[in-house]
Protein backbone atom coordinates (compact mmCIF):
# COMPACT_ATOMS: atom_id res chain seq x y z
CA UNK A 1 0.00 0.00 0.00
CA UNK A 2 1.14 3.49 -0.87
CA UNK A 3 1.42 5.20 2.53
CA UNK A 4 2.07 8.94 2.65
CA UNK A 5 4.63 9.36 5.43
CA UNK A 6 5.05 13.13 5.56
CA UNK A 7 2.52 15.37 7.24
CA UNK A 8 0.17 16.49 4.48
CA UNK A 9 -0.64 20.14 3.92
CA UNK A 10 -4.41 20.14 4.04
CA UNK A 11 -6.94 22.79 3.14
CA UNK A 12 -10.55 22.87 4.24
CA UNK A 13 -13.04 24.49 1.87
CA UNK A 14 -16.28 25.78 3.40
CA UNK A 15 -19.01 27.19 1.13
CA UNK A 16 -21.21 29.69 2.99
CA UNK A 17 -24.40 31.38 1.92
CA UNK A 18 -26.24 33.61 4.41
CA UNK A 19 -24.80 31.77 7.39
CA UNK A 20 -24.51 34.75 9.80
CA UNK A 21 -26.17 32.83 12.64
CA UNK A 22 -23.59 30.08 12.67
CA UNK A 23 -20.47 31.12 10.79
CA UNK A 24 -18.52 32.43 13.79
CA UNK A 25 -19.04 29.17 15.64
CA UNK A 26 -18.08 27.18 12.53
CA UNK A 27 -14.92 29.26 12.12
CA UNK A 28 -13.93 28.67 15.73
CA UNK A 29 -14.69 24.95 15.66
CA UNK A 30 -12.74 24.37 12.45
CA UNK A 31 -9.77 26.57 13.44
CA UNK A 32 -9.47 24.88 16.84
CA UNK A 33 -9.70 21.46 15.28
CA UNK A 34 -7.09 22.29 12.66
CA UNK A 35 -4.79 23.56 15.43
CA UNK A 36 -5.23 20.23 17.23
CA UNK A 37 -4.34 18.30 14.09
CA UNK A 38 -1.20 20.45 13.69
CA UNK A 39 -0.24 19.95 17.36
CA UNK A 40 -0.71 16.21 17.03
CA UNK A 41 1.72 16.26 14.10
CA UNK A 42 -1.00 14.92 11.88
CA UNK A 43 -0.92 17.69 9.29
CA UNK A 44 1.48 20.42 8.21
CA UNK A 45 1.41 23.68 10.15
CA UNK A 46 0.84 25.47 6.84
CA UNK A 47 -2.60 23.91 6.52
CA UNK A 48 -5.44 26.41 6.17
CA UNK A 49 -9.18 26.94 5.85
CA UNK A 50 -10.86 28.65 2.88
CA UNK A 51 -14.33 30.14 3.39
CA UNK A 52 -16.14 30.78 0.14
CA UNK A 53 -18.84 33.38 0.64
CA UNK A 54 -21.30 32.55 -2.11
CA UNK A 55 -22.68 36.07 -2.56
CA UNK A 56 -24.32 36.22 0.88
CA UNK A 57 -26.66 39.16 1.42
CA UNK A 58 -26.42 39.05 5.21
CA UNK A 59 -23.40 39.70 7.47
CA UNK A 60 -21.58 36.44 6.77
CA UNK A 61 -18.60 38.16 5.13
CA UNK A 62 -18.17 40.84 7.81
CA UNK A 63 -18.39 38.26 10.59
CA UNK A 64 -15.79 36.12 8.83
CA UNK A 65 -13.49 39.12 8.41
CA UNK A 66 -13.65 39.89 12.12
CA UNK A 67 -13.54 36.39 13.53
CA UNK A 68 -11.19 34.62 11.17
CA UNK A 69 -7.96 33.07 12.29
CA UNK A 70 -5.11 34.66 10.34
CA UNK A 71 -4.37 31.38 8.58
CA UNK A 72 -7.90 31.31 7.16
CA UNK A 73 -8.69 32.78 3.77
CA UNK A 74 -11.96 34.19 2.49
CA UNK A 75 -13.06 34.19 -1.13
CA UNK A 76 -16.04 36.43 -1.70
CA UNK A 77 -18.00 35.65 -4.86
CA UNK A 78 -19.68 38.56 -6.60
CA UNK A 79 -23.09 36.88 -6.60
CA UNK A 80 -24.86 33.74 -5.42
CA UNK A 81 -23.92 30.90 -7.78
CA UNK A 82 -25.04 27.95 -5.70
CA UNK A 83 -23.33 25.38 -3.52
CA UNK A 84 -21.60 23.48 -6.37
CA UNK A 85 -19.99 26.58 -7.84
CA UNK A 86 -18.98 27.91 -4.44
CA UNK A 87 -17.23 24.56 -3.88
CA UNK A 88 -15.59 24.83 -7.29
CA UNK A 89 -14.29 28.33 -6.53
CA UNK A 90 -12.66 26.91 -3.40
CA UNK A 91 -11.19 23.92 -5.24
CA UNK A 92 -9.82 26.16 -8.03
CA UNK A 93 -8.16 28.29 -5.37
CA UNK A 94 -6.41 25.45 -3.54
CA UNK A 95 -5.36 23.35 -6.53
CA UNK A 96 -1.57 22.80 -6.54
CA UNK A 97 -1.35 24.67 -3.21
CA UNK A 98 -2.35 21.72 -1.09
CA UNK A 99 -1.76 17.97 -0.71
CA UNK A 100 -5.44 17.32 -0.19
CA UNK A 101 -8.61 19.30 0.36
CA UNK A 102 -11.60 18.60 2.57
CA UNK A 103 -14.95 20.13 1.67
CA UNK A 104 -17.41 20.58 4.50
CA UNK A 105 -20.70 22.48 4.94
CA UNK A 106 -20.77 25.68 6.98
CA UNK A 107 -23.67 24.57 9.18
CA UNK A 108 -21.73 21.96 11.23
CA UNK A 109 -24.05 19.18 10.01
CA UNK A 110 -20.99 17.27 8.89
CA UNK A 111 -18.90 15.87 11.70
CA UNK A 112 -15.76 18.03 11.89
CA UNK A 113 -14.04 15.40 14.02
CA UNK A 114 -14.33 12.84 11.21
CA UNK A 115 -11.69 14.79 9.26
CA UNK A 116 -9.10 12.88 11.28
CA UNK A 117 -10.29 9.58 9.77
CA UNK A 118 -10.26 11.10 6.29
CA UNK A 119 -6.63 12.09 6.69
CA UNK A 120 -5.76 8.58 7.89
CA UNK A 121 -7.40 7.18 4.75
CA UNK A 122 -5.48 9.67 2.61
CA UNK A 123 -2.23 8.70 4.28
CA UNK A 124 -3.03 5.08 3.50
CA UNK A 125 -3.14 5.94 -0.18
CA UNK A 126 -6.73 6.98 -0.93
CA UNK A 127 -7.27 9.86 -3.36
CA UNK A 128 -10.99 10.30 -2.73
CA UNK A 129 -12.50 9.78 0.73
CA UNK A 130 -16.28 10.07 0.90
CA UNK A 131 -18.02 10.96 4.14
CA UNK A 132 -21.02 8.63 4.44
CA UNK A 133 -23.64 9.52 7.04
CA UNK A 134 -24.85 6.78 9.34
CA UNK A 135 -28.04 8.46 10.61
CA UNK A 136 -29.93 11.67 9.90
CA UNK A 137 -31.99 11.38 13.04
CA UNK A 138 -32.11 15.08 13.85
CA UNK A 139 -33.21 16.32 10.45
CA UNK A 140 -36.80 17.17 9.55
CA UNK A 141 -39.13 14.66 7.91
CA UNK A 142 -39.27 16.78 4.76
CA UNK A 143 -35.48 17.16 4.50
CA UNK A 144 -34.81 13.46 4.98
CA UNK A 145 -37.43 12.35 2.50
CA UNK A 146 -36.78 14.95 -0.16
CA UNK A 147 -33.06 14.10 -0.05
CA UNK A 148 -33.88 10.38 -0.30
CA UNK A 149 -36.26 10.96 -3.22
CA UNK A 150 -33.65 13.17 -4.92
CA UNK A 151 -30.91 10.54 -4.84
CA UNK A 152 -33.35 7.75 -5.77
CA UNK A 153 -34.45 9.70 -8.86
CA UNK A 154 -30.87 10.33 -9.93
CA UNK A 155 -29.87 6.70 -9.48
CA UNK A 156 -32.97 5.54 -11.38
CA UNK A 157 -31.80 7.59 -14.33
CA UNK A 158 -28.36 6.01 -14.18
CA UNK A 159 -26.39 8.84 -12.53
CA UNK A 160 -23.49 7.20 -10.65
CA UNK A 161 -24.14 8.50 -7.13
CA UNK A 162 -22.51 7.35 -3.91
CA UNK A 163 -25.38 6.53 -1.51
CA UNK A 164 -25.67 8.54 1.74
CA UNK A 165 -22.96 10.97 0.70
CA UNK A 166 -23.43 14.73 0.62
CA UNK A 167 -20.56 17.07 -0.15
CA UNK A 168 -18.36 16.12 2.84
CA UNK A 169 -15.24 14.55 1.34
CA UNK A 170 -11.47 14.60 0.95
CA UNK A 171 -9.84 14.94 -2.47
CA UNK A 172 -6.13 14.66 -3.19
CA UNK A 173 -4.41 17.27 -5.35
CA UNK A 174 -4.20 14.67 -8.11
CA UNK A 175 -8.00 14.43 -8.12
CA UNK A 176 -8.22 18.23 -8.33
CA UNK A 177 -5.95 18.13 -11.36
CA UNK A 178 -8.08 15.46 -13.02
CA UNK A 179 -11.25 17.34 -12.12
CA UNK A 180 -9.93 20.50 -13.74
CA UNK A 181 -9.88 18.63 -17.07
CA UNK A 182 -13.68 18.43 -17.01
CA UNK A 183 -14.67 21.65 -18.71
CA UNK A 184 -18.44 21.36 -18.50
CA UNK A 185 -20.24 24.38 -17.17
CA UNK A 186 -23.13 22.37 -15.69
CA UNK A 187 -21.36 21.27 -12.59
CA UNK A 188 -22.51 18.35 -10.45
CA UNK A 189 -19.51 17.22 -8.41
CA UNK A 190 -21.27 14.28 -6.78
CA UNK A 191 -21.82 12.76 -10.20
CA UNK A 192 -18.40 13.65 -11.65
CA UNK A 193 -16.14 12.26 -8.93
CA UNK A 194 -17.09 8.59 -9.41
CA UNK A 195 -15.92 8.98 -13.02
CA UNK A 196 -12.37 9.67 -11.81
CA UNK A 197 -11.26 6.18 -11.03
CA UNK A 198 -8.48 6.97 -8.60
CA UNK A 199 -8.33 4.99 -5.37
CA UNK A 200 -11.49 5.72 -3.43
CA UNK A 201 -12.66 4.89 0.06
CA UNK A 202 -15.31 6.01 2.52
CA UNK A 203 -15.62 6.77 6.21
CA UNK A 204 -18.80 6.84 8.27
CA UNK A 205 -19.91 9.83 10.33
CA UNK A 206 -22.91 10.92 12.33
CA UNK A 207 -24.94 13.62 10.56
CA UNK A 208 -26.49 16.12 12.94
CA UNK A 209 -29.14 18.77 12.39
CA UNK A 210 -28.30 22.35 11.48
CA UNK A 211 -26.84 24.14 14.52
CA UNK A 212 -28.25 27.49 13.37
CA UNK A 213 -29.94 29.20 10.42
CA UNK A 214 -32.18 27.53 7.84
CA UNK A 215 -31.41 25.21 4.94
CA UNK A 216 -30.34 27.09 1.81
CA UNK A 217 -31.55 24.24 -0.38
CA UNK A 218 -35.07 25.35 -1.14
CA UNK A 219 -37.33 22.95 -3.02
CA UNK A 220 -36.60 24.99 -6.15
CA UNK A 221 -32.80 24.66 -5.75
CA UNK A 222 -33.12 20.95 -5.01
CA UNK A 223 -35.28 20.34 -8.11
CA UNK A 224 -32.91 22.34 -10.26
CA UNK A 225 -29.93 20.32 -8.93
CA UNK A 226 -31.81 17.08 -9.66
CA UNK A 227 -32.74 18.08 -13.23
CA UNK A 228 -29.20 19.34 -13.78
CA UNK A 229 -27.75 16.09 -12.40
CA UNK A 230 -29.99 13.90 -14.55
CA UNK A 231 -29.59 15.80 -17.82
CA UNK A 232 -25.81 16.16 -17.36
CA UNK A 233 -25.22 12.47 -16.78
CA UNK A 234 -27.97 10.51 -18.46
CA UNK A 235 -29.73 10.18 -21.80
CA UNK A 236 -32.41 7.96 -20.26
CA UNK A 237 -35.15 10.67 -20.31
CA UNK A 238 -34.69 11.18 -24.07
CA UNK A 239 -34.64 7.41 -24.61
CA UNK A 240 -37.82 7.07 -22.53
CA UNK A 241 -39.54 9.55 -24.82
CA UNK A 242 -38.58 7.47 -27.85
CA UNK A 243 -39.85 4.31 -26.16
CA UNK A 244 -43.14 5.95 -25.10
CA UNK A 245 -43.51 7.29 -28.66
CA UNK A 246 -42.99 3.80 -30.08
CA UNK A 247 -45.44 2.17 -27.67
CA UNK A 248 -48.07 4.82 -28.44
CA UNK A 249 -47.51 4.28 -32.16
CA UNK A 250 -48.19 0.55 -31.92
CA UNK A 251 -51.18 1.04 -29.60
CA UNK A 252 -52.67 3.57 -32.04
CA UNK A 253 -52.12 1.16 -34.94
CA UNK A 254 -54.00 -1.56 -33.02
CA UNK A 255 -56.82 0.84 -32.13
CA UNK A 256 -57.12 1.97 -35.76
CA UNK A 257 -57.49 -1.61 -36.93
CA UNK A 258 -60.11 -2.16 -34.25
CA UNK A 259 -62.05 0.96 -35.36
CA UNK A 260 -61.86 -0.19 -38.98
CA UNK A 261 -63.29 -3.61 -38.09
CA UNK A 262 -66.15 -2.00 -36.10
CA UNK A 263 -66.83 0.33 -39.06
CA UNK A 264 -66.86 -2.52 -41.56
CA UNK A 265 -69.37 -4.37 -39.40
CA UNK A 266 -71.60 -1.33 -39.70
CA UNK A 267 -71.77 -0.54 -35.98
CA UNK A 268 -71.55 3.03 -34.71
CA UNK A 269 -68.50 4.10 -32.71
CA UNK A 270 -68.90 4.46 -28.97
CA UNK A 271 -68.68 8.05 -27.79
CA UNK A 272 -66.75 10.82 -26.35
CA UNK A 273 -64.42 9.34 -23.72
CA UNK A 274 -62.51 7.08 -26.05
CA UNK A 275 -61.63 10.05 -28.24
CA UNK A 276 -61.02 12.85 -25.78
CA UNK A 277 -59.11 10.94 -23.06
CA UNK A 278 -56.32 9.75 -25.37
CA UNK A 279 -56.19 13.29 -26.75
CA UNK A 280 -55.55 14.79 -23.31
CA UNK A 281 -53.09 12.03 -22.51
CA UNK A 282 -51.18 12.47 -25.75
CA UNK A 283 -51.04 16.26 -25.39
CA UNK A 284 -49.57 15.72 -21.94
CA UNK A 285 -46.96 13.29 -23.24
CA UNK A 286 -46.09 15.66 -26.08
CA UNK A 287 -45.64 18.64 -23.78
CA UNK A 288 -43.51 16.62 -21.37
CA UNK A 289 -41.39 15.35 -24.25
CA UNK A 290 -40.87 18.85 -25.57
CA UNK A 291 -39.89 19.96 -22.08
CA UNK A 292 -37.29 17.19 -21.74
CA UNK A 293 -35.83 17.90 -25.17
CA UNK A 294 -35.81 21.60 -24.29
CA UNK A 295 -33.79 20.83 -21.12
CA UNK A 296 -31.10 19.12 -23.18
CA UNK A 297 -31.02 21.88 -25.78
CA UNK A 298 -30.73 24.49 -23.04
CA UNK A 299 -27.83 22.50 -21.66
CA UNK A 300 -26.05 22.43 -25.01
CA UNK A 301 -26.70 26.15 -25.39
CA UNK A 302 -25.16 26.85 -21.99
CA UNK A 303 -22.13 24.65 -22.69
CA UNK A 304 -21.39 26.28 -26.06
CA UNK A 305 -21.16 29.72 -24.49
CA UNK A 306 -18.34 28.62 -22.15
CA UNK A 307 -19.10 31.44 -19.74
CA UNK A 308 -17.05 31.74 -16.55
CA UNK A 309 -18.65 29.76 -13.74
CA UNK A 310 -18.29 32.42 -11.03
CA UNK A 311 -16.78 35.85 -10.44
CA UNK A 312 -14.62 36.67 -7.45
CA UNK A 313 -15.14 40.03 -5.78
CA UNK A 314 -12.25 39.81 -3.35
CA UNK A 315 -9.85 37.28 -1.84
CA UNK A 316 -8.71 37.87 1.73
CA UNK A 317 -5.47 36.01 2.44
Kindly state the smallest distance separating residue 172's Cβ from ligand UDP, in Å: 22
Kindly state the smallest distance separating residue 23's Cβ from ligand UDP, in Å: 9
Contact 105, 167 (CB under 8 A): yes
- Judged by CB under 6 A, which of 212, 217, 292, 309 binds ligand UDP? 217
Q: Nearest Cα to 225, choosing from 190, 182, 180?
A: 190
Please choose, out of 104-112, 157-165, 169-177, 300-308, the segment that lies near ligand UDP by the rule CB under 6 A: 104-112
Residue among 213 and 237 whose Cβ is closer to Mg ion: 213
Residue among 58 and 295 whose Cβ is closer to Mg ion: 58
Q: How far apart are CA 162 and CA 102, in angstroms?
A: 17
Kindly state the smallest distance separating residue 210's Cβ from Mg ion, in Å: 6
Residue 119, interface with ligand UDP (CB under 6 A)?
no
54 is in the binding site of which of Mg ion, ligand UDP, none (Cβ under 5 to 8 A by kind)?
A: ligand UDP
Kindly state the smallest distance separating residue 216's Cβ from Mg ion, in Å: 8
Assign residue 172 a region (left: φ > 0; alpha: ψ between -120 and 50; beta: otherwise): beta
Pairing of strands 169-172, 312-316: unpaired
In the chain, at which residue ranges do the beta strands (DSSP E only) sit?
A: 10-16, 48-53, 73-77, 100-103, 128-133, 169-172, 200-205, 312-316
Number of residues that bind ligand UDP (CB under 6 A): 16
Residue 109, interface with ligand UDP (CB under 6 A)?
yes
Contact 74, 15 (CB under 8 A): no
Residue among 26 and 109 whose Cβ is closer to Mg ion: 109
Q: How far apart are CA 36 and CA 28, in angstroms?
A: 12
Binding stretches for ligand UDP (CB under 6 A): 15-17, 19, 54, 80, 82-83, 86, 105-107, 109, 215-217
Amino acid sequence: MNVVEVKPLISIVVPCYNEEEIIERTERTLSNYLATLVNDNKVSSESYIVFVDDGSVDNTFDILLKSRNLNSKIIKLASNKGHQYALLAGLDYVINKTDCVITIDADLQHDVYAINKMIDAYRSGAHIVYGIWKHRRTETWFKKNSAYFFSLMLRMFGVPLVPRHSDFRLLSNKVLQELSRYKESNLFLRGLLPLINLKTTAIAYEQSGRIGGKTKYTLKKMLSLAINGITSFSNVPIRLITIIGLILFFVTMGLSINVLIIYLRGRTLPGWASISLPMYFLSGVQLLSLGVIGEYIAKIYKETKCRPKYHIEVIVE
